[in-house]
Chains A and B, each alone.
Chain A
Amino acid sequence: MKNILHVDMNAFFASVEQRANPGLRGLPVAVIGSRHRGVILSPSYEARASGVRTGMQYHEARRACPEIALVPADPAKYSHTCRRLIEIWGRFTPRVELFSIDEAFLDVTGCDALFGDPVRIAIMLKEQIWSEEGLTCSVGIAPNKLLAKLGSDMQKPDGLVLICPEDVPDTLEDLPVCDLCGVGPNLTRALAAMGIRTCGELGRAPLRMLTARFGIAGERLRNMGQGIDGDEVASQGEQDQEEAKSIGHSMTLDRDSDDREELERHILQLSEKVGRRLRRGGYRGRTVTLTLRYADFRTFSRQRRLDHGVSGGLDIFASACDLFRKITLEQPVRLIGVGIANLDRDLAQVPLFDVQRKQRFVTDAMDAINDRYGDFTVTWGTLADRFHHERVISPAWRPGGAREY
């Protein structure tokens, strides 16, 4: 039987900010998207006690908790802290799978001889995180990832929950299906329409009925209802070796805008960032995607498939911009994203024609300067008037490889 730990850092961004500013400790604090945008990303537990929740607008949070301190997100602090947490987790097992910037799975199977049983390991791990980083976490211990994640969600903050194999049927029987990792609102609604609301009901549902509705995912869903999950914990090395499937950047604008010239400059900046990451990772891509979100949060994407792979920011921009120019804006834009998919390895073939060769030399020279002095040290004139943007941490962030920004 495997012993899997799921570690979930409690109110991670807010806790890091409280650690960085002693004046905020013990007070209701919330981390917001940026100085100009007031969406709550991470409320502290003191703020949660007053009803502040992730995703609220800042004025709603102020209404719920008038004394709340709002702190703009500082992703560099969170990614740095995440790297230190990975170092702590790695003391107990090499099999650490980062699930997001504040969550990880640890496979501690066979580590008993070194550190004791999984509960002892979880206690040591919590103590070391607290003493070295001043942060609390909730830990779930179970025979698989699905149940370990469920366990860490059961007791917050600073929780420790052990789910033994013999406890699984009772634990799942009346548990709403939406509490399972991977079952979102749409799937919950679809299951409810079939009369399935709890994990117990999902585990007993006829396989034929589930596969008729969800295809091959039906079997996995029924297994989830029974607490069965064969997914292995992927180590850091295995995750790094995974080929990226797509690379993208998005930005929420400081203010909603329908100024096409301004929006195109943002598209150029995003295209440059995507191109830099492609080239760093040694990739090129064939499908460019432009994503826009209107002020009312309506979001849509447009895609273009190219007949050859590209890795240059200008090539990506040309396609993204072409897509953008075909869109009639119905309202001001809140968010823009540029991405590229259908990636393959860029084998650095020397361009045949002089224009392309010169373009490659310019890109290489810009990359060399920016590698040494920092991104956007040398950039296009259009971006020279500091079209910089506060960085936002991506859900796909990883401490290395093409997913690091």
Chain B
Amino acid sequence: MAVDMNEPVRVAAVFTRGEVCPVWFDRKGMQVRVRETAFSWTTREGSSTVLHFSVTDGHNLYELRFNTGTLSWQLTYSETP
């Protein structure tokens, strides 16, 4: 089932050499470990760059977005088989 959403989310990420790599995020009181960042892309929101990550926990697909202007993370999509 695919669900679009716009939920603020707590994310642990590694920032290294100008790249951002999500490691885990909270979801319904559980910690979801990122197994693979399948794809990442950027968009603009006004003067802010927004980083998007398509990630999997090995089972489900999620999309996370990080607004570099507000330093905020959001969960925008989830897809369960």
Interface residues, chain A, with chain B CB atoms under 8 Å away:
16, 19-23, 76-77, 80-81, 370-375, 377
Contacts and interface: CB of A to CB of B under 8 A. Distances in A.
Given A76-B52, A371-B47, A22 B42 contact: no
A188 B76 CA distance: 47
14 contacts: A16-B39, A20-B39, A21-B38, A22-B61, A23-B81, A76-B43, A77-B39, A77-B41, A77-B52, A373-B47, A374-B44, A374-B45, A374-B48, A377-B46
B46 A370 contact: yes
Interface string B56-81: 10000100000000000000000101
A372 B46 contact: yes
Which among A19, A77, A375, A377 has the greatest number of chain B C-beta atoms within 10 A? A77
A23 B38 CA distance: 10
Contacts of A19: 38-39
A76 B43 CA distance: 6
Contacts of B44: 374
Contact of B42 (A21, A80, A377): A80
Interface of B: 36, 38-39, 41-48, 52, 54, 56, 61, 79, 81
Contacts, number: 42
Nearest to B35: A22
A288 B42 CA distance: 33
Secondary structure at chain A's binding surface: helix, strand, loop or mixed? helix
Given A76-B41, A80-B42, A20 B54 contact: yes
Nearest to A24: B61
B39 to A, nearest CB: 4
Query: In this complex, which of B36, B54, B81 has the most chain A Cβ atoms within 10 angstroms of its Cβ?
Result: B54
A370 B48 CA distance: 11
A23 B36 CA distance: 12
Nearest to A78: B41
A375 B48 CA distance: 12
Contacts of A373: 45-47
Contacts of B61: 21-23
Nearest to B4: A35
Closest 5 CB pairs of A and B: A80-B41, A20-B39, A374-B46, A373-B46, A20-B54
A22 B38 contact: yes
A22 B35 CA distance: 12
A373 B39 CA distance: 26
Given A76-B41, A77-B39, A80-B41, A22 B46 contact: no
A150 to B, nearest CB: 32
Contacts of B41: 76-77, 80-81
